[in-house]
């Protein structure tokens, strides 16, 4: 067999070799380079995740003997970053995972392998990968890590049932998004209605949930349907349920048991058919033990419990999520941004993400809005993501890359506006005065530059915010 890269383009096809024996991975990669490939070696799962995030690859050779499910994790990461890549399972002789490898690999080769056998396996895997049809994302909850896969599998199994679902997890992990995914898969024709319980006082929350009749309280000029009635035939999502007062917990228990309620000030009993999903970032069992949350309500809502994993516990999903947020932000900003530099990928993977997916989203959006080129640099990311260290940035333009003046001024103008807003505590009027313009002019500039301040503003405080 001719050892020729499968890519028909002048650029050598990229192939990743993953083996926890770093010297073995390097030896195979060096040999593939002599055969015309652009081969990269990775000596651990973490290295493989970094390499996968640095750009698409056409093939990947994975040691099936990686410990603790590492091979499956690498395969999932490659699938996410390069859906059409062919994956070869390199199986050590008589390894017990030989059969399991067939579930995540396109081809397999037993080690030690002859050169022609390895090349044949790579060619087979690439052919299968190129013929693979990549379906549209089946879920709005992105991720290939086993922790997310397990959550989505439970969602698939319970979505069509009437079971109450309790979603737990840290702030910013995507609990609201998962609730919407449960509704999407449920097949219910009614609305998805969301209520942030922690943002309302007890009296307002009762009216918000159950509605009220005219004259029920000062300002109640007419009848008003509550969220439960609006969710009839659909799904109601009660976020921050741990903040509900003891009195409200009693009312909720009755509604969840019978799906019946009376509006505030009314006597007519309403019955609804609504799927209930609840979420909290607090430990409800600890609150029950402390007497701050009713035990009977806890057992009523804890029918199906799903915990959204923290982003630091599924680092392999960071490149996938960052790429998704980058494409969305670039589209909104009207910018041609293609991806991240290797240094930027390393920076994203090294961060602990205390704000979880929400913090990642804001960091990527800010980098896209303030970046200079077609690739996001590490210097474009917030200082908190870089560990507070200044990052070196290449020269904005080389002498041979002259651009029209209006286009060249867009980036510094964006940077000046954001700097003024940050110093002004995001008060538009104060920032406008600091810039020497009036507020109307500032709004016009924001519109012309396609700057979404709703996305930029939380990024400044997301690391310290405790709001879910």
Residue that finishes a domain, picked among 131, 154, 179:
131
Q: Same domain for 301 and 153?
A: yes
CATH assignment at residue 122? 3.40.50.2300
Number of domains in the chain: 3
Q: Evaluate whether residue 284 is within a structural domain.
A: yes
Q: Please classify residue 65 by burial: count the beta carbons closer than 10 Å to its beta carbon, then call 0-12 exposed, 13-18 middle and 19+ buried.
A: buried
413 compared with 98, residue with greater pLDDT: 413
Q: Same domain for 155 and 298?
A: yes
Express as a percent the part of the chain with pLDDT over 70. 83
Q: Same domain for 325 and 435?
A: yes
pLDDT of residue 273: 93
The torsion angle over the Cα atoms of residues 52, 58, 61 and 67, rounded to 10 degrees, is 30
pLDDT at 462 over 50: no
Q: Same domain for 299 and 341?
A: no
pLDDT of residue 455: 56
Q: Evaluate whether residue 241 is within a structural domain.
A: yes
pLDDT at 401 over 70: no
Q: Same domain for 287 and 217?
A: yes
Q: Same domain for 43 and 96?
A: yes
Q: Evaluate whether residue 383 is within a structural domain.
A: yes
pLDDT bucket at 256, cuts 50 / 70 / 90: very high
pLDDT of residue 306: 96
Tens-digit pLDDT profile for residues 113-168: 888 899 999 999 999 988 876 555 556 788 878 888 899 999 999 999 999 999 99
CATH assignment at residue 220? 3.40.50.300
Q: Same domain for 453 and 423?
A: yes
pLDDT of residue 83: 79
Q: Same domain for 296 and 362?
A: no
Q: Evaluate whether residue 397 is within a structural domain.
A: no
CATH assignment at residue 339? 1.10.8.60
Q: By residue range, what is the domain housing residue 333? A: 313-392+405-459
Tens-digit pLDDT profile for residues 321-370: 998 899 888 888 888 888 888 888 889 988 999 999 999 999 999 999 88
pLDDT at 303 over 60: yes
pLDDT of residue 458: 44
- When the pLDDT of each residue in the chain is averaged and rounded to a whole number, the result is 81
pLDDT of residue 422: 72
How far apart (Å, rounded) are the C-alpha atoms in residues 275 and 228? 10
Q: Same domain for 154 and 183?
A: yes
pLDDT of residue 99: 56
Q: Evaluate whether residue 4 is within a structural domain.
A: no
Q: Same domain for 157 and 300?
A: yes
Q: Evaluate whether residue 468 is within a structural domain.
A: no
pLDDT of residue 100: 54
How far apart (Å, rounded) are the C-alpha atoms in residues 139 and 181? 7
Expressed in percent and rounded to 5, the helix, strand and coil fractions of the chain are 45, 15, 40
Do residues 50 and 349 lie in contact, with contact meaning Cβ atoms separated by under 8 Å? yes
Tens-digit pLDDT profile for residues 46-76: 788 878 777 778 899 998 888 767 788 788 8
Q: Same domain for 207 and 253?
A: yes
pLDDT bucket at 460, cuts 50 / 70 / 90: very low
Residue that finishes a domain, picked among 249, 280, 307:
307
pTM value is 0.66
Q: Same domain for 438 and 422?
A: yes
Residue that finishes a domain, picked among 255, 275, 307:
307
> What is the maximal distance between C-alpha atoms in the chain?
86
Q: What is the DSSP letter of 236?
A: E
Question: CA nearest 391: which of 420, 414, 371, 413?
Answer: 371
Q: What is the DSSP letter of 251?
A: H
pLDDT of residue 223: 79
Hunting for tokens 């980036």 — which residue is that?
411
Tens-digit pLDDT profile for residues 201-255: 887 888 889 888 876 666 666 778 889 999 999 999 999 999 999 989 999 999 9
Tens-digit pLDDT profile for residues 167-190: 999 999 999 999 999 999 998 999
pLDDT of residue 133: 64
Q: Evaluate whether residue 467 is within a structural domain.
A: no
């Amino acid at each position: 067999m001719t050892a020729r890269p499968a890519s028909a383009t002048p650029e050598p096809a990229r192939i990743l070799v993953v083996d926890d024996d770093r010297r073995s991975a390097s030896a195979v990669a060096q040999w593939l380079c002599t055969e015309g490939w652009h081969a990269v070696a990775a000596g651990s799962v973490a290295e493989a995740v970094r390499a996968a995030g640095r750009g698409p690859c056409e093939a990947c050779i994975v040691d099936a003997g990686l410990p603790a499910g590492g091979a499956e994790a690498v395969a999932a990461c490659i699938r996410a970053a390069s859906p059409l890549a062919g994956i070869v399972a390199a199986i050590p002789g008589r390894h017990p995972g030989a059969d399991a490898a067939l579930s995540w690999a396109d081809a397999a080769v037993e080690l030690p392998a002859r050169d022609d056998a390895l090349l044949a396996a790579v060619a087979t895997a690439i052919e299968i990968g190129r013929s693979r049809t990549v379906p549209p994302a089946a879920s709005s909850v992105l991720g290939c890590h086993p922790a997310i896969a397990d959550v989505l599998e439970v969602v698939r199994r319970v979505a069509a049932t009437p079971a109450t679902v309790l979603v737990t997890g840290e702030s910013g992990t995507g609990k609201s998004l998962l609730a919407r995914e449960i509704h999407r898969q449920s097949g219910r024709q009614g609305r998805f209605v969301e209520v942030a319980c922690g943002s309302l006082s007890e009296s307002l929350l009762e009216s918000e949930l159950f509605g009220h009749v005219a004259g029920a309280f000062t300002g109640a000029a007419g009848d008003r349907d509550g969220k439960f009635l609006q969710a009839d035939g659909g799904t109601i999502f009660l976020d921050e349920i741990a903040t509900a007062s003891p009195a409200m917990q009693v009312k909720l228990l009755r509604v969840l048991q019978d799906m019946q309620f009376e509006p505030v000030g009314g006597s007519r009993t309403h019955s609804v058919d609504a799927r209930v999903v609840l979420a909290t970032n607090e430990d409800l069992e600890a609150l029950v033990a402390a007497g701050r949350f009713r035990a009977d309500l806890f057992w009523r809502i804890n029918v199906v419990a799903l915990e959204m994993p923290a982003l630091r516990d599924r680092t392999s999903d960071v490149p996938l999520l960052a790429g998704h947020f980058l494409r969305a932000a670039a589209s909104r900003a009207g910018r041609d941004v293609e991806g991240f530099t290797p240094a930027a990928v390393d920076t994203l993977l090294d961060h602990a993400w205390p704000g979880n997916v929400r913090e990642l989203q804001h960091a990527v959006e800010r980098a896209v809005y303030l970046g200079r080129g077609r690739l996001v640099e590490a210097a474009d990311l917030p200082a908190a993501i870089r560990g507070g260290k200044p990052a070196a940035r290449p020269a904005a333009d080389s002498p041979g890359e002259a651009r029209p003046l209006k286009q060249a001024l867009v980036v510094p103008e964006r940077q000046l506006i954001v700097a003024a807003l940050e110093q002004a505590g995001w008060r538009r009027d104060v920032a406008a005065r600091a810039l020497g313009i009036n507020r109307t002019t500032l709004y016009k500039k924001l519109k012309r530059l396609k700057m979404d301040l709703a996305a930029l503003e939380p990024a400044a405080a997301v690391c310290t915010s405790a709001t879910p």
